[in-house]
Amino acid sequence: MIELLWNGPVSEAKMAKYIEYLELHTEQRVFDVGCGCGEMLIRLRERFQVQGTGIDSSFEHIAEAKRRAEARGSAVRFVEADAQSFQIAPNSFDLAMCMGSSHAYGLGSDAYRNAIKQMIPLIVPGG
Ligand SMILES: C[S@@+](CC[C@H](N)C(=O)[O-])C[C@H]1O[C@@H](n2cnc3c(N)ncnc32)[C@H](O)[C@@H]1O
């Protein structure tokens, strides 16, 4: 079991604020790249009833995400996958996020650029 609530350096208070700022609707599709233990998607599901998909290359993190989701009765899909090879059709999501995980798309300053370039086609226009 992974004890950390979040896997990034962002505080609980900041995460709560991000959730508060989001205006999501029931069944909107949310993709989280490098989702860690899945806490963000689980909370978004609990609050907005979104359809969540999270990927992470770490078996341990995905196992913990699935354990948490099951324990909280949260229907979120978690997949062990590498961000750079995971195949997704364009326009599959209303929101795509990558929190503290841009290194999944490369190193140094290329990481942010690659992350944006690869994630934008995954969301619907206006998403
Ligand atoms: C700092 S953690 C952030 C986790 C989560 N977003 C959070 O805020 O709690 C970074 C995550 O990115 C994942 N990761 C690193 N490289 C990856 C890749 N190429 N594809 C998918 N996930 C990756 C790691 O396994 C780790 O769980």
Which CATH number goes with the domain that contains 110? 3.40.50.150
For residue 83 and ligand 1, the question of a CB distance below 6 A is answered with yes
Cβ–ligand 1 distance for 102 under 6 Å, the answer no
What is the Å distance from ligand 1's center to 125 Cα? Answer: 26
pTM (predicted TM-score): 0.94
Averaged pLDDT score across all residues of the chain: 94
Q: Is the CB of 65 under 6 A from ligand 1?
A: no
Answer yes or no: is 44 within a domain.
yes
Expressed as residue numbers, the domain containing 58 is 24-122
- Burial zone of 103 (CB within 10 Å; 0-12 exposed, 13-18 middle, 19+ buried): middle
pLDDT-derived band at 7 (thresholds 50, 70, 90) equals confident
pLDDT at 5 over 80: no
Q: What is the 2 CA–ligand 1 centroid distance (Å)?
A: 14
Q: Indicate the range of 3-7, 32-36, 45-49, 88-92 predicted with least confidence.
A: 3-7
Tell me which long-range contacts 1-10 makes (C-beta under 8 A, separation of at least 24): 1/64, 1/67, 2/37, 2/60, 2/61, 2/64, 4/37, 5/37, 5/39, 6/36, 6/37, 6/39, 7/36, 7/37, 7/61, 7/100, 8/36, 8/99, 8/100, 8/101, 9/100, 10/99, 10/100
* pLDDT > 70? residue 2: no
Q: How many domains does the chain have?
A: 1
Q: Is the CB of 35 under 6 A from ligand 1?
A: yes
118 sits in which H/E element: helix 110-119
**What whole-number percentage of the chain has pLDDT above 90?**
87
**Residue 116 maps to a domain:** yes
Give the pLDDT band (50/70/90) at residue 68: very high
Is residue 75, in this structure, part of any structural domain at all? yes
Q: Is residue 3 part of a domain?
A: no
